[in-house]
Structure 1
Amino acid sequence: MFSKKSISTFLQAQVAAFLGGITDYGLMILLTEVFKLHFTFSILISGTIGAIVNFSINRFWVFKNQSGYSSRINSQLFKFALVVLGSISLKSFGTLILQKSFQIDYRIGRLITDSFVSYGFNYPLIKNWVFRAKEKQNVIESN
């Protein structure tokens, strides 16, 4: 059902997401607790930094799309930025809903929201849209 390559890619993508997520989450706590920003603004800033970490790891290790073509990276960056905007929006909104409606601490609400957004939104779009072209190109070239 699943190939070793697809399982390996999924696990590598989870490592990339974890490292980007740790950066994101830690920075969110720092900005909220130390610099007293509202958590929705902290999520915006930390999500952007975490996304840069995640994109870099995905591009150069997970999906190995460092082809050197500037138009290629521009396309990937644009697509990735759209995914990140959606992801940050979903995380901010989800965390806010959990905090306002259910009085769940923003740190816990963020973890709950992240789990849904990461597996249900980020991974499918990053794998099948942002970094998809290289895989299809390799299949075409091998035929």
Structure 2
Amino acid sequence: MFRKQSVFTFLQAQIAAFLGGITDYCLMILLTEVFKLHFTFSILISGTVGAIINFSINRFWVFKNQSGYSSPINKQLLKFALVVLGSISLKSFGTLVLQRVFQIDYRIGRLITDSFVSYGFNYPLIKYWVFRANEEQNVTESN
């Protein structure tokens, strides 16, 4: 059962990441192509919007049973903001390196960078740090 729940939580988190990510990616293209912002600035703005969507879905759906409403939202928001800052920095830098060094179009470079950042950075930090259930809470609930 533990394994089923872990897989289910992972899939839910991927849906949250996808919805935030698709918003982020489409807004990045809109800001870059239509409003002519440099893609690194577009990633900053679009990443912030995508993060708000991702946080909301994670807090109220994905990790609701893990830490849910018992953890103060301010504490979770602060932790999530730190993860987002790291994520946006990695995405911007990775996309820039792929574009400048390897001449990969920023849209493709962003997709490549996102896949590494999402699975190797965002998901572990969101699951095990931002929305981690308190050990005391788990003991209390099991009694």
TM-score by length of 1: 0.93
How far apart, CA to CA, are the structure 2 residues paired with 1:73 and 1:6? 23
> 1:93 corresponds to which residue?
93
Distance 1:140 1:11 in 2: 26
Gaps (5+ residues) in structure 1?
none
* Deviation of 1:67 (Å): 1.4
Task: Give the length in aligned residue pairs.
Answer: 140
Residue of structure 2 in register with 1:8 after alignment: 8
Give CA-to-partner distance per residue, 1:62-119, whole Å, 9 cap, x none: 00144166xx100000000000000000000000000000000000000000000000
Gaps of 5+ in 2: none
2 CA distance for matches of 1:138 and 1:15? 27
TM-score by length of 2: 0.93
* Equivalent-residue separation in structure 1 for 2:54 and 2:48 (angstroms): 10
Relative to structure 1, the CA distance from residue 93 to residue 57 in structure 2 (aligned partners, 3 Å threshold; closer, same or farther) is same
Structure 2 CA distance for aligned equivalents of residues 68 and 51 of structure 1: 21
In structure 1, the residue matched to 2:46 is: 46
Runs of 4 or more, structure 1, over 6 Å off, are none
Matched residues in 2 for 1:3 and 1:66: separation?
A: 20
Rounded Cα–Cα distance in structure 2 between residues aligned with 1:25 and 1:49: 10
Give the match's secondary structure for 2:54: helix
% identical equivalent positions: 81
| Matched residue type, 2:127 | K
CA RMSD of aligned residues (A): 1.6
The answer to whether 1:31 aligns with 2:36 is: no
Q: CA deviation at 1:133?
A: 2.6
User: What CA distance in whole angstroms lies between the structure 1 residues aligned with 2:103 and 2:84?
Assistant: 26
Cα offset, 1:137, TM superposition: 4.4
